[in-house]
């Protein structure tokens, strides 16, 4: 299980293509650093990635149970529900502070969307395979070993864009008929699943090491 972290309300993170290349790269690196700092702080506060996924799932379950109303106080909520919500919200707040600590002025109006999805270690055995940067610029993913998040109809290859300072690259599964059943039935395709994993964010992909 891995966490996909998206910056919301941060127009500076995806500058217009008319902006100088140097400024675009600076913005992408700032966004990458912000997401990384958020992950590290969140996982530290909640005792690791697996625990963070469990706490987040419980938070989502409780919120859905009371929707469209707010989760009530401890006296009115079910046993442990208020504490579970408070635990996630506290960790999220601390992670937001850590994420934007280098540039606090950019935090105004910003939020971070967190989504936990299945994560795999994957070998690209026949490449390159086409992917996209966050601003939908086409880029190629060379042969090598990668940490990949399976986000529904997309595969997110972490730190796969060597030309763009190590940005994530997204592969749209709809573009590859042979990958439609991912992670099953991959014999003869470009990809091989080495195995499901809990992500070690300190390890680099082999193609970019």
- The pTM for the full model equals 0.76
Distance CA(130)–CA(110), nearest Å, equals 31
Query: Which is more confident, 153 or 15?
Result: 153
Query: Across the chain, what does the average pLDDT equal?
Result: 87
**pLDDT for position 198:** 60
Question: Residue 28 is part of which domain span?
Answer: 2-115
Find the DSSP H helices in the chain: 21-46, 49-66, 81-99
Residue 132 φ/ψ, nearest 5 degrees? -135, 145
Residue 200 pLDDT > 90: no
- Of 83, 115, 147, the residue that ends a domain is 115
Q: Are strands 144-151 and 191-196 parallel, antiparallel or unpaired?
A: unpaired
**Residues 103 and 135 both lie in one domain:** no
Give SS3 for 115. Answer: strand
**pLDDT for position 29:** 85
- Mark residue 154 as left, alpha or beta (left: phi above 0; alpha: psi -120 to 50; beta: remaining): beta
User: Based on the structure, what is the number of domains in the chain?
Assistant: 2
**pLDDT for position 13:** 84
56-81 mean pLDDT: 92
Residue 119 pLDDT > 70: yes
**pLDDT for position 24:** 80
Residue 56 pLDDT > 70: yes
Residues in the chain: 209
**Residues 83 and 144 both lie in one domain:** no
Distance CA(50)–CA(44), nearest Å, equals 11
96-112 mean pLDDT: 94
pLDDT > 90: what percent of the chain? 61
Task: For residue 202, name the pLDDT band (cuts at 50, 70, 90).
Answer: very low
**Residues 8 and 94 both lie in one domain:** yes
Give SS3 for 139. Answer: strand
């Amino acid at each position: 299980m891995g966490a996909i972290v998206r910056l919301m309300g941060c127009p500076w993170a995806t500058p217009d293509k008319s902006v100088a290349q140097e400024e675009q790269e600076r913005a992408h690196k700032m966004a990458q650093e912000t997401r990384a700092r958020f992950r590290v702080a969140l996982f530290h506060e909640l005792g690791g990635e697996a625990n963070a996924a469990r706490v987040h799932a419980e938070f989502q379950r409780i919120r859905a149970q009371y929707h469209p109303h707010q989760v009530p106080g401890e006296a009115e909520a079910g046993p442990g529900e208020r504490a579970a919500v408070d635990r996630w919200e506290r960790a999220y707040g601390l992670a937001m502070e850590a994420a934007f600590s280098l540039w606090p002025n950019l935090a105004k109006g910003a939020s971070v969307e967190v989504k936990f999805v299945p994560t795999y270690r994957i070998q690209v055995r026949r490449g390159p395979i086409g992917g996209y940067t966050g601003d939908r610029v086409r880029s190629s993913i060379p042969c090598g070993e990668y940490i990949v998040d399976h986000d529904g109809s997309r595969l997110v290859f972490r730190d796969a864009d060597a030309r763009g300072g190590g940005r994530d690259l997204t592969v749209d599964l709809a573009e590859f008929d042979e990958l439609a059943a991912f992670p099953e039935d991959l014999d003869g395709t470009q990809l091989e699943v080495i195995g499901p994993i809990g992500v070690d964010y300190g390890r680099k992909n082999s193609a970019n090491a």
